[in-house]
């Protein structure tokens, strides 16, 4: 029997070179360039209208760019029709045929390619085994759970051994617990078979959980591409800092010039200054914002630390408690305490502190 890892030994990389796509007066993709390595899992992440699905559709061949090129395995496929690209596709709606059995659904792409009945049934059973659904071949889609239907859709997409697997928010219809379970299972499956995956999602947790690298898009432009760790710990723009995870933004003024990566001081008024690390070059006197993650804020006694605040609310969620803290400037900041930590009472005056390396300075007011 063909082992799953052998089936995708031909996985290839993808290049999007300076792609532009317009729909009337709207530029959906604005000079985006990115590369996906063979066997890599890349997530395209962004809010609605960011261009992520348009990029995926251009790779698939369902949209053609107005400018730029699309390469798959080094081959220019920019104008090639979808059926000649040999790419697998899993959509948000699984579009399984309700009158067909699971095995017939999986074998259907092979039937359309003229593969004989015996071979397509054998390959469909192999694909079914790959997604760990042995024994489900005779069932109808309506007899399966949402997670099982999702795995059938993946099996159907990989049965003809595509060069790349494209996935357009395939987990969005699942409930929270099943969705989280399928995130891990889909990632394990991708590693097992070794296929290159481009995965579209608007869910940051999903992207960070599943992807080797994440490309963050906004208004058709690529904001940053990197590992989940790099995006979370070292965002290169205020948008990425605010979109990936939770972030507090504190308005201030740069007290001195600073180059990217250097520690600097940001004035908050009344002679106060707080330490932070510049992301880009910062001019003296520039309006800036300091970004600090809730878990990187630390409580101090009232009158101590870098900022004064008062506890507005304590939100307990089991593994952590989130404090909502009001500063004298009436800004509300979030601070996250781990389970078991001492929690101040609502109305208590506290101080806040952080390490300069955990606070990032971006030019521009909030």
Overall average pLDDT of the 33-47 stretch: 96
Amino acid 172: pLDDT: 81
pLDDT at 9 over 60: no
Question: Both tokens of residue 57?
Answer: 């559709």
Q: Where along the chain do the CATH 2.40.50.140 domains lie? A: 246-363
pLDDT value at residue 366: 65
Please list the residues that pair with 307 across neighbouring strands. Answer: 352
Kindly tell me if the per-residue pLDDT of 244 is higher than 90. yes
| Chain segment 163-220, per-residue pLDDT in tens | 899 999 888 877 888 888 888 888 988 888 889 999 999 999 999 999 999 999 999 9
What lies within 8 Å, CB to CB, of 286 at 6+ separation is 253, 254, 363
Q: Which residues in 264-287 are b (16+ Cβ under 10 Å) and which e?
A: bbbbbeeeebbbbbbbeebeeebe
Top-confidence residue, 324 or 121: 324
Find where tokens 């017939």 sit. Answer: 104
Residues 6+ apart with CB under 8 A from 145: 178
Q: Where in the chain is the domain with CATH 3.40.50.300?
A: 4-238
Average pLDDT over every residue of 272-293: 92
Other Cβ atoms less than 10 A from the Cβ of 142: the count is 8
For the segment 46-67, the average pLDDT, to the nearest whole number, is: 96
Highest mean pLDDT among 77-81, 106-110, 183-187, 262-266: 77-81
Residue 357 has pLDDT above 80, yes or no: yes
pLDDT for 242 equals: 93
Q: In whole numbers, what is the pLDDT of the chain averaged over residues? A: 91
Q: For 59-73, 94-108, 198-212, 291-305, which range has the lowest pLDDT when averaged over its residues? A: 94-108
Q: Which H or E element spans position 208?
A: helix 204-210
| 194 three-class SS | coil
Closest residue by Cα to residue 21 from 48, 59, 47: 59
Q: Where is pLDDT greater, at 202 or 3?
A: 202
User: Is residue 145 very low, low, confident or very high in pLDDT (cuts 50, 70, 90)?
Assistant: confident
Residue 227, class by beta-carbon neighbours within 10 Å (0-12 exposed, 13-18 middle, 19+ buried)? middle
Q: Does the pLDDT of residue 273 top 70, yes or no? A: yes
Second CATH level (architecture) for the domain 4-238: 3-Layer(aba) Sandwich (3.40)
Contact between 315 and 324 (Cβ < 8 Å): yes
Domain 246-363 class, CATH top level: mainly beta
pLDDT confidence of residue 10: 63
Q: What is the pTM of this model?
A: 0.88
Indicate the range of 118-132, 228-242, 299-313 predicted with least confidence: 118-132
Give the residue from 344, 347, 321, 345 showing the smallest Cα distance to 334. 321
């Amino acid at each position: 029997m063909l082992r799953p890892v052998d089936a995708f030994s031909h996985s290839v990389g993808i290049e999007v070179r300076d792609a532009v796509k317009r729909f009337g007066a709207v530029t959906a993709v604005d000079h985006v360039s990115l590369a996906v390595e063979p066997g890599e899992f890349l997530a395209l992440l962004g809010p609605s209208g960011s261009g992520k699905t348009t990029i995926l559709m251009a790779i698939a061949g369902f949209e053609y760019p107005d400018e730029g090129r699309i390469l798959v395995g080094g081959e220019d496929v920019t104008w090639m029709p979808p059926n000649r690209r040999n790419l697998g596709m899993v959509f948000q709606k699984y579009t399984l045929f309700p009158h067909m059995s699971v095995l017939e659904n999986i074998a259907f792409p092979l039937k359309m390619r003229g593969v004989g009945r015996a071979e397509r049934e054998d390959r469909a059973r192999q694909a079914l085994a790959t997604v760990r659904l042995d024994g489900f071949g005779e069932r109808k889609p309506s007899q399966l759970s949402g997670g099982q239907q999702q795995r059938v859709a993946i099996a159907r997409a990989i049965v003809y051994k595509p060069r790349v697997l494209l996935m357009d928010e395939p987990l969005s219809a699942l409930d929270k617990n099943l969705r989280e379970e399928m995130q891990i299972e889909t990632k394990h499956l991708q590693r097992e078979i070794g296929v290159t995956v481009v995965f579209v999602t608007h869910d940051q947790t999903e992207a960070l959980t599943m992807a080797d690298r994440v490309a963050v898009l906004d208004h058709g432009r690529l904001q940053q591409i990197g590992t989940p760790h790099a995006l979370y710990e070292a965002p290169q723009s205020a948008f990425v800092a605010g979109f990936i995870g939770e972030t507090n933004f504190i308005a201030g003024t740069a007290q001195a010039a600073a180059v990217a990566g250097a520690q600097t001081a940001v004035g908050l008024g009344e002679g106060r200054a707080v330490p932070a690390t510049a992301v880009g070059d910062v001019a003296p006197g520039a309006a800036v914002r300091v970004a600090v993650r809730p878990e990187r804020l630390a409580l101090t006694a009232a009158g101590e630390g870098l900022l004064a605040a008062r506890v507005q609310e304590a939100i307990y969620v089991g593994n952590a408690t989130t404090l909502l803290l009001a500063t004298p400037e009436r800004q509300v900041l979030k601070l996250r305490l781990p389970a078991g930590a001492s929690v101040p009472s609502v109305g208590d005056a506290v101080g806040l502190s952080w390490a300069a390396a955990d606070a990032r300075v971006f030019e521009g007011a909030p």
